[in-house]
Structure formats: structure tokens, C-alpha cells
Amino acid sequence: MAFTIALAGKGGTGKTTMAALIVRALRELGARSVLAVDADPNSTLHEALGVEVERSVGEITEEMMKSTQATPGGMSKDAWLELNVHRYVVETSEFDLLSMGRPEGPGCYCYANNLVRGCIDDLSRSYEYVVMDNEAGLEHLSRRTTRDVNALLIVSDPSVRGVRTAGRLNELADELDIGIDSRYIVVNRVDEPLDPMLARAIEECGLPLLGTVPPDEGIIRCDLEGLGLLDLPEDSPALVAARKMTASAVPALRQATV
């Protein structure tokens, strides 16, 4: 089964940026195969990775739920969904990407979501690592995609309020039926040494600090020029930080040179 790294946190903290940096870091640290899963309905991970997405799983699911003709005769819904999920995985030489999206039609999609979760579980077995970029909150981790997470990274902005929100998300994780091996806080867009009040909030939030990510003009430049973060130079401060954190979070990579 793949080693799964999930990104969570409140909106605007830079989860998608971190997910893209971790995808790149995994490849640079020797990962053989990486699946990026964009589980945020406001799908932007493909832009951060510099690729195009033809269809999302949400669109496929909605088509299946709205029309009985969407599923060919003699084929079960789960087989049809699995076929289409594999069909619309974006494949590159560095990583593969699956965009989850969200069905927009009315009605209950619980049955379809269960099919999707099983399908993604099966797909994940073909990869060494899975990196999941998630929407704000944690409930979707238990209802939408993989059941188990090896490393949950809760991303915070450099504010006491943001760190406290990360702590509350950590408490919420205790209430959900999710298998999580390790949890960390990552503070984004902050220079060290940390302000004493911010450092104290981190100590009190209940999460070990995996690392901090400094502000990086290269990320801003990539966004302005419409480039993916795979175009960042190797000495990008944010990428260097992501390499260190990835090696620390993944037991198999802890001896890697970063």
C-alpha cells in the first residue's frame, strides 16, 4: 500500500503549494512513483504542478448518477467508475495526478462516494507514495478518499490564530474514523527565528513542528508567469524546506541527503 501524505488546514495557508512542493521533493529524494490527489473542490493542484486536467472524478460520478445510459450495458457501476478514473489520471514522467472535484447535481452521492473511495484505494496500491491536497477541515478524509493516512501535515499561516486553528483540527482528527500514523504542524511563509509568541502557540497546539517554510519570491514568480512549481530552481528556499520536511516525515527517506 502507498505511503500517504495528506495536507490539511484552513483556507489560504498554502496547502496546495506545500502539496506540489512535496510531490517534487519525493521525486528528488528517490521516490519511484507518486500519485498526487487533488481532493479540494476548488481544484488548483494541477496549476501548481503545471499540468492540465481533462475531467475530474466528481464530473464522472455526476454523469453516472444522472444517466442510466452513462454505464454501458453489462458493466457494473463500480467497474465503469474504475475504468474512467484510470482513464482520466494525468500521467507525467515525474508524477501522476487525479483530480477529485465534486458532483454539482442535487441529491445524495453517498453511494457514489463509497465507490470512489474504494476505487482510489485500489488505485493507490499501484504507487509508492500518494500526496493528497484537501479542502479546509478534515471530514472529507473519512468520506471521500483513502481510509488511512501515514502522515497528516496541518499547514498554518504564521499567526497565533492560525496555529490555534491547526490545534483544533488536530482535536477534530481524534473524533473522526481515520487511521493516521503521524500528525504534524507546518508553518508556512515565515522566517526564523520565530516570534516568541508564535513559538509558544506552536508548543501549546498539541502537534509536533515538522518545519517552517520561508517566504519565496520564486513561488510568486511562478504564479505570475503561469508556471508550475516544478520549474522552481533547486535552491528555492521553500523547496529546500520541503525536502527536509518530507525526509523527516517519511521513515524510508530519513537517511536521504537533503
User: How is the chain split into domains, by residue range?
Assistant: 3-251
Contacts of residues 171-177 at CB distance under 8 Å and 24 or more positions apart, as own/partner, are 171/206, 172/137, 172/138, 173/138, 176/138, 176/139, 176/141, 176/142, 177/142
Which amino acid belongs to residue 203? E
Q: Which of 76, 38, 83 is nearest to 60 (CA)?
A: 83
Scanning the structure block, which residue is given the C-alpha cell 503545471?
A: 50
Instruction: Determine the pLDDT at residue 136.
Output: 77
Scanning the structure block, which residue is given the C-alpha cell 482510489?
A: 120
Instruction: Determine the pLDDT at residue 144.
Output: 46
The backbone torsions φ and ψ at residue 153, rounded to the nearest 5 degrees and listed phi first, read -105, 110
Give the C-alpha separation, 210 to 180, whole Å.
Answer: 16
- Residue 37 and residue 145 in contact, taking contact as beta carbons nearer than 8 Å: yes
Give the C-alpha separation, 48 to 242, whole Å.
Answer: 15
Give the C-alpha separation, 190 to 195, whole Å.
Answer: 10
- Residue 163 and residue 156 in contact, taking contact as beta carbons nearer than 8 Å: yes
**Nine-digit cell string for 257:** 541527503
Beta bridge partners of 153: 7, 184
Burial class (CB in 10 A: 0-12, 13-18, 19+), 91: exposed
Give the length of the chain. 258
Q: Which of 22, 27, 58 is nearest to 40 (CA)?
A: 58
- Residue 80 and residue 64 in contact, taking contact as beta carbons nearer than 8 Å: yes
Instruction: Determine the pLDDT at residue 69.
Output: 65
Q: Which of 154, 120, 151 is nearest to 252 (CA)?
A: 151
Q: What CATH number has the domain spanning 3-251?
A: 3.40.50.300
Q: Angle at which helices 77-87 and 110-124 pack, to 10 degrees?
A: 50
3-class DSSP state of 150: strand
CA 67 to chain CA centroid, Å, is: 31
CA 16 to chain CA centroid, Å, is: 7
**For the chain (length 258 residues), average pLDDT per consecutive 10?**
91 95 96 93 91 88 72 76 88 94 62 70 91 79 64 97 94 82 97 97 97 97 94 96 97 69
Scanning the structure block, which residue is given the C-alpha cell 528555492?
A: 236
By DSSP bridging, strand 179-188 and strand 90-91 are: unpaired
